[in-house]
Each structure stands twice: as structure tokens, then as C-alpha cells.
């Protein structure tokens, strides 16, 4: 039997899986539909193992196909659970000066996943920034990130921030350690603000401004992009911060938010901790 004909069941299985995945990601299938179709594909391959019992090579091909679909089914099984998430609410979270008297404020955004029919009520409706409809692409990305973290293929964002900040600073103060050990932390976007706070505190440099800061860092102090920049710029303006530092990669989005909401704030994008310190120094210079 030709090698190409033996490969057909395996290649066909991959093609069918990718078709199912495409239909799921673009909301033509629910997570339950996706999982059930993968289960059906697994069962079909198992049936063909017995149908082709006397054709050893072809039977082996269907055996590999069945094994592949079984692995894929187990990997994608949890998609049906994510069907319950209907929307994600982004809401105002007050900025925080982690280290007192440094004038550096962590900009954060609250978020909550809502199931079907659920609502989130606010005393002040201005606290609600946005209701994001949960598409299957959003659900699938969330599922993959959780699995990768579980398998240690991707570092947890909070753990990543904790290790990067502690490595860069070598020694952190009590306030930063307490912040890093909070149980309600989510994400790594406070990294730059924490490092700047510690450096300004240790060097006893004067910062007379209330500066809103957001941005993740790596262990070498390079600043990385973060999410929900539009909402963080709104938070900065609402909390009275006239100066904001963001990752350079998020600068375009931040300036668009400034324009869209007609905000009277100054925004600068930076690529490193050193660059951010230079910006703070220039803002505090007598000539500015």
C-alpha cells in the first residue's frame, strides 16, 4: 500500500480538527459542539481501526489518528465550560501609591467575568469602563493560557512580575513586598511602577508630581507592553494625575485614548526603567 494512502487518515484527521477549530473560533460552534465533534471524530477513528483490521498499515494509520484525536479531545474538552462566560466587565480601580511619598502611582483596571444572565451593578455608573462580549477567541486564549501555566510552559503573570521586580532591585522594601504578596493580584503591569517607586525611595530623589505608571518589565529592566491601556489612561485622568508613563509599545493606544476622551494629561512611552527615570527627572526639572 502506498505511503500517501496510509497518511491520508492522519492528514484527514488534522484537516477535520482544524476545520472544527476554525468554526469554533469564529463562533459558528459552541464549546460543547466543538468538544462533542472531537469526541465523535475519536470514536470514528476507533471504529475504522476495527474495520481495517486485516490491513495492517492502514489500521496503524487509523490507530495514530485515534490517538491524536483522543489527545486533542482531552486538550479541548474544557471549551464547553467556557460557554458560560458571556461577557467581561472592565471597571475603575483607584490608582495606588505603593511606596508613600514617591509620587508614583500604579494604574490598574478591575475586571470580572459574567455568566449568562448575570449583571454587575455599580453605585456610580462611571465606574464601569466597558462591557466586552466574550467571543470564542477570547475564551480559547484564556483556556490556553491557563493550561500553559499549569504545564509550566508559560510563567504566571504575577509570578513573572514578582521575580522580575525582585531580580532587578536585588532588595525590595516592605511596602513592595506586601504588594507583591497580595492574593488579589492579577497581571504584571505594576512592575515598572514598583521598580520606579523603590529607586526613588532609596535614592531619596524628589518627585513633586503624581505620576500614573503602567508597564511590565523583565529582569533586565526592559519595559514590555500591557493590556487595557485605554482604561488605565482614563483612571489616571480621573485620579488627577497630569503625567503618565506607559510602555513605548502602548504609546499610540494611550495617545488615542487621550484624544478620544479629551484628557489634559502628558503621556510618555518608555522602553526601559532608566528611560522612565530620565522622564521623571525631566518633568521635575525647574525649566519644565
First-to-final CA distance of the chain: 80
What the block records as the C-alpha cell of 235 is 483612571
For the stretch 213-263, pLDDT in tens is 999 999 999 999 999 999 999 999 999 999 999 999 999 999 999 999 999
Asked if residue 233 is part of any domain, the answer here is yes
Asked if residue 11 is part of any domain, the answer here is yes
Specify the residue for cell string 532588595.
Answer: 171
Q: Tell me, yes or no, whether 31 and 105 share the same domain.
A: no
Q: What is the 3-state composition of the chain as percent helix, strand, coil, each rounded to the nearest 5?
A: 55, 15, 30
**DSSP code string of 34-59:** HHHHHHHHHHHHHHHHHHTTT-HHHH
For the stretch 17-31, pLDDT in tens is 999 999 999 999 999
Asked if residue 9 is part of any domain, the answer here is yes
Instruction: Please state whether 51 falls in left (phi above 0), alpha (psi between -120 and 50) or beta.
Output: alpha
CA distance 111 to 254: 19
Asked if residue 220 is part of any domain, the answer here is yes
Q: Tell me, yes or no, whether 16 and 103 share the same domain.
A: no
**Spatial contact of 169 and 195, defined as CB atoms under 8 Å apart:** yes
Question: How confident is residue 2, by pLDDT bands cut at 50, 70 and 90?
Answer: very low
Please give the residue that has the higher pLDDT: either 110 or 58. 110
pTM of the model: 0.86
Q: Tell me, yes or no, whether 75 and 102 share the same domain.
A: no
Q: In sequence order, which residues have a C-beta less than 8 Å from that of residue 97 and are 6 or more positions away?
A: 103, 104, 105, 106, 197, 210
Q: Considering its fold, how many domains does the chain have in total? A: 2
| Residue 3 predicted with pLDDT over 60 | no
Q: Tell me, yes or no, whether 168 and 62 share the same domain.
A: no
Q: Tell me, yes or no, whether 173 and 76 share the same domain.
A: no
Q: What is the CATH number of the domain that holds 207?
A: 3.30.230.10
Asked if residue 147 is part of any domain, the answer here is no
Q: Tell me, yes or no, whether 193 and 235 share the same domain.
A: yes
Q: Tell me, yes or no, whether 105 and 27 share the same domain.
A: no
Q: Dmax over Cα atoms in the chain, in whole Å?
A: 88
What 3-state class would DSSP assign to 3? helix
For the stretch 172-221, pLDDT in tens is 788 999 999 888 888 899 999 999 999 998 876 678 899 999 999 999 99
Asked if residue 163 is part of any domain, the answer here is yes
Asked if residue 117 is part of any domain, the answer here is no
What the block records as the C-alpha cell of 151 is 504545564
Q: Tell me, yes or no, whether 160 and 197 share the same domain.
A: yes
CA distance 21 to 19: 5
Specify the residue for cell string 532587578.
Answer: 168
The alpha-helical segments, DSSP class H, found in 208-288 are 229-238, 251-260, 273-283
CA distance 4 to 283: 68
pLDDT at 6: 64
Q: Tell me, yes or no, whether 232 and 103 share the same domain.
A: yes
Question: How confident is residue 141, by pLDDT bands cut at 50, 70 and 90?
Answer: very high
Range of the domain at 162: 93-109+155-283
**Spatial contact of 215 and 105, defined as CB atoms under 8 Å apart:** no
Q: Tell me, yes or no, whether 101 and 187 share the same domain.
A: yes
CA distance 208 to 200: 12
Q: In sequence order, which residues have a C-beta less than 8 Å from that of residue 21 and are 6 or more positions away?
A: 34
Q: Tell me, yes or no, whether 268 and 200 share the same domain.
A: yes
Q: How many helices (H) and strands (E) does the chain have?
A: 10, 8
**Spatial contact of 15 and 23, defined as CB atoms under 8 Å apart:** no
Asked if residue 120 is part of any domain, the answer here is no
Q: Tell me, yes or no, whether 11 and 75 share the same domain.
A: yes
CA distance 192 to 274: 11
Amino acid at each position: 500500500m502506498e505511503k500517501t494512502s496510509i497518511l491520508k487518515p492522519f492528514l484527514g484527521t488534522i484537516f477535520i480538527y482544524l476545520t472544527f477549530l476554525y468554526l469554533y473560533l469564529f463562533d459558528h460552534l459552541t464549546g460543547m459542539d466543538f468538544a462533542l465533534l472531537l469526541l465523535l471524530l475519536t470514536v470514528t477513528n476507533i471504529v475504522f481501526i476495527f474495520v481495517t483490521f486485516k490491513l495492517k498499515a492502514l489500521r496503524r494509520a487509523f490507530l495514530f489518528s485515534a490517538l491524536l484525536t483522543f489527545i486533542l479531545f482531552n486538550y479541548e474538552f474544557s471549551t464547553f465550560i467556557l460557554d458560560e462566560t458571556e461577557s467581561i466587565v472592565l471597571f475603575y480601580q483607584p490608582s495606588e501609591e505603593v511606596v508613600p511619598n514617591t509620587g508614583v502611582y500604579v494604574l490598574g483596571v478591575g475586571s470580572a467575568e459574567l455568566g449568562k444572565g448575570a449583571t454587575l451593578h455599580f453605585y456610580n455608573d462611571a465606574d464601569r469602563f466597558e462591557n466586552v462580549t466574550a467571543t470564542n477567541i477570547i475564551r480559547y486564549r484564556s483556556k490556553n493560557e491557563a493550561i500553559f501555566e499549569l504545564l509550566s510552559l508559560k510563567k504566571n503573570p504575577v509570578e513573572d512580575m514578582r521575580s522580575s521586580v525582585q531580580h532587578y532591585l536585588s532588595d525590595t522594601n516592605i511596602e513592595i513586598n506586601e504588594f507583591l504578596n497580595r492574593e488579589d493580584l492579577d497581571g504584571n503591569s505594576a512592575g515598572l511602577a514598583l521598580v520606579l517607586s523603590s529607586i526613588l525611595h532609596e535614592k531619596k530623589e524628589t518627585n513633586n508630581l503624581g505620576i500614573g505608571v503602567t508597564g511590565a518589565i523583565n529582569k533586565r529592566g526592559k519595559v514590555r507592553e500591557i493590556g487595557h491601556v485605554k482604561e488605565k489612561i482614563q483612571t489616571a485622568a480621573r485620579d488627577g494625575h497630569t503625567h503618565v508613563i506607559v510602555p513605548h509599545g502602548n504609546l499610540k493606544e494611550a495617545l488615542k485614548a487621550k484624544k478620544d476622551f479629551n484628557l489634559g494629561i502628558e503621556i510618555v512611552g518608555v522602553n526601559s526603567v532608566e528611560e522612565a527615570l530620565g522622564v521623571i527627572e525631566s518633568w521635575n526639572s525647574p525649566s519644565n
